[in-house]
Amino acid sequence: MTAFLDVTTSLTGRRWTGPDAAQDRLAEGMAQQTRLPLPLCRILAARGVAPEEAPAFLAPALRDLLPDPLTLKDMAPAAARLIRAVTARERIAIFADYDVDGGSSAALLIVWLRAMGCGATLYIPDRIDEGYGPNVPAMSALAANHSLILCVDCGTLSHDPIAAAKGADVVILDHHLALETLPAALAVVNPNRQDEDGTLAHLCAAGVVFLLLVEANRQLRASGQQGPDLMAMLDLVALATVADVAPLVGVNRAFVRQGLKVMARRDRPGLRALADVARMDQAPTSYALGFLLGPRVNAGGRIGQADLGARLLATDNPTEAAAMAAKLDQLNTDRREITEAVREEALAQAEARGLDGPLVWAAGEGWHPGVVGIVAARLKEAAQRPSVVIGFDGDDGKGSARSVPGVDLGAAIQRIAAEGLIVKGGGHKMAAGLSLTRAQLEPAMARLAELLARQGAGDGGPSDLRIDSLLTTSAATVALVEQIEDAGPFGAAAPAPRFAFANVAVSTRRMGAAHLKLTLSDGTGPGLDAILFGAFDGPLGPALENAGHRRFHLAGRLELNHWNGRTKVQLRVEDAAPV
């Protein structure tokens, strides 16, 4: 295939590719048939949407995409047990993971139970002292005082802790990869069980919990009772889906689309307070969920009080919400500083080891366990390779891993755990966690690199940059971007479309020390605003700032910038090539 705009090596070392001739013909036919803009039709054609499917795709209805909860194994007994506990006013405990998905899942259950006139004990383990998932002392203590324990976003691999919950029924609501043998729980509802068919494998834990509540409401209706309003809870499902980087396909896309509408009403005190401290002054977007709200909810579990995020999401008290949101905002600021210090050390170590292998990894003494996952993501982005970052406290190491599309990292880490090369580990395709000793470090990383290489990790150089369409600066209108947003929300497995602007003149000014503000002109209109974040972390910033009279092809994502009551189109620059 010919390189798009003949860019074989951009400033970031990538080859640009665009739609092939067949896809162009499909898009042009769709534009004629539907009267939709050609750039939008190119996006739809790339998603495999047929012309007759376009209206439904652009306005996804949850009722059309919501699967029958009973397609998941153990769903019926899980919902029946929850209703029995509510009816009998039993004592219920919720054991949740400390991330956004765990906190949102716990909040969903707490809000639903509160509407049913019931309370619940929330237990979220301390990341440092207890680590991920159920542990024997906690489960034993909860079972002594509760007859039902709901484990959310965790528990699938916790055989011994589940067995320790003597006298209580345990229901697991999870999405992490399962082993062939499941814990001895009353129910294990998990689309990633080995005996599931995988059609709902893209759900996060909050999506699984939502389906449980759909089934619980259905069982209530069958008995002549009315269940709580579930549509009003979709803001929590949307937040978890985006923050957990779940693929935005199928029902997940509808969850996020409808959840953003619910969130825009600002009815939930916790999310309203969090949006205010994050200085969100416009309608929420998937970007806001992933980069403004999600990190703040996560901050408590990373470096502060583990249950703070879940309690914020669940509270119905505005005063309490404001106080917790302010605390999380400060913790997030602290977390950023810790992250940057670890990132610099980890990147230097990984670069010294080499970024061209199938696995990029780094390990250090005293690296905070709460930020190693973020740093692993940064290493993955820098090297376009699966990455592992491990923090050691003496002989004990806790790490997080992040993968790239097409490489199942969770399965590889489960494999080295089964082989006894690490203490424990697990997760899903794109993210995983692990624990190991210092003596295990080098052999485990060598074996993990070998397993990932078999999946093709590290093959070739920088990946191609996919361009969805070519635009002139005058064609990048507010109306076009609003129509393109109807094809969203964009995120994992459904990336925002990338546009190229050919042969543009560039004028620049710095925004602080790190960012670059640009104006692009190709002679077709007044010019297009653009921004390049982290401009001087790579070659783009220096080249564009010193462009002089040189012209460039630029590529990036279009977004709407709301400022002082005005809305303008802005290009978020990702790559450039001199003409």
**Distance (Å, rounded) from C-alpha 501 to C-alpha 206?**
39
Give the domain range for residue 446. Answer: 354-454
If asked whether residues 429 and 306 sit together in one domain, one would say no
If asked whether residues 282 and 167 sit together in one domain, one would say yes
Structural tokens at position 510? 């710095």
- Mean pLDDT, rounded, for 40-64: 93
Nearest Cα to 43, choosing from 33, 56, 31, 32?
A: 31
If asked whether residues 433 and 500 sit together in one domain, one would say no
- Residue ending a domain, among 396, 428, 454, is 454
For the residues of 136-176, what is the DSSP string, one character each?
HHHHHHHHHH-SEEEEES--TT-HHHHHT-TTSEEEEE--S
If asked whether residues 318 and 174 sit together in one domain, one would say yes
- Residue ending a domain, among 287, 312, 329, is 329
* CATH number of the domain encompassing residue 546: 2.40.50.460
In percent, the amount of the chain with pLDDT more than 90 equals 88
If asked whether residues 147 and 262 sit together in one domain, one would say yes
- Mean pLDDT, rounded, for 535-541: 91
**Per-residue pLDDT at 461 exceeds 90:** no
Count Cβ atoms within 10 A of the Cβ of residue 279 and give its class: 0-12 exposed, 13-18 middle, 19 or more buried: exposed
- Give backbone dihedrals phi and psi of 297, rounded to 5 degrees, phi first: -60, -40
Kindly state whether residue 343 falls inside one of the protein's structural domains: no
Kindly state whether residue 3 falls inside one of the protein's structural domains: no
- Mean pLDDT, rounded, for 460-466: 77
Q: What is the pLDDT of residues 416-428, one digit of tens each?
A: 999 999 999 988 8
Q: What pLDDT score was predicted for residue 462?
A: 65
Q: What is the pLDDT of residues 6-30, one digit of tens each?
A: 999 999 999 999 988 898 999 999 9
- Mean pLDDT, rounded, for 205-221: 98
**Per-residue pLDDT at 382 exceeds 90:** no
Kindly state whether residue 45 falls inside one of the protein's structural domains: no
If asked whether residues 289 and 358 sit together in one domain, one would say no
Query: How confident is residue 380, by pLDDT bands cut at 50, 70 and 90?
Result: very high
If asked whether residues 436 and 505 sit together in one domain, one would say no
Query: How confident is residue 128, by pLDDT bands cut at 50, 70 and 90?
Result: confident
Q: What pLDDT score was predicted for residue 460?
A: 64
Kindly state whether residue 189 falls inside one of the protein's structural domains: yes
Q: What is the pLDDT of residues 77-126, one digit of tens each?
A: 999 999 999 999 999 999 999 999 999 999 999 999 999 999 999 999 99
Q: With contact defined as beta carbons under 8 Å apart, do 238 and 252 qualify?
A: no
Q: What mean pLDDT value characterizes the chain? A: 95
If asked whether residues 100 and 148 sit together in one domain, one would say yes
Kindly state whether residue 28 falls inside one of the protein's structural domains: no
Kindly state whether residue 462 falls inside one of the protein's structural domains: no
* CATH number of the domain encompassing residue 310: 3.90.1640.30
- Residue ending a domain, among 429, 454, 479, is 454
Q: What is the pLDDT of residues 446-456, one digit of tens each?
A: 999 999 999 99
If asked whether residues 528 and 422 sit together in one domain, one would say no
Kindly state whether residue 34 falls inside one of the protein's structural domains: no
If asked whether residues 431 and 496 sit together in one domain, one would say no
If asked whether residues 87 and 183 sit together in one domain, one would say yes
Name the pTM for this structure: 0.89
* CATH number of the domain encompassing residue 366: 3.10.310.30
For the chain, the domain total comes to 3
Structural tokens at position 349? 């170590």
If asked whether residues 185 and 273 sit together in one domain, one would say yes
Nearest Cα to 257, choosing from 244, 274, 241?
A: 241
Kindly state whether residue 24 falls inside one of the protein's structural domains: no
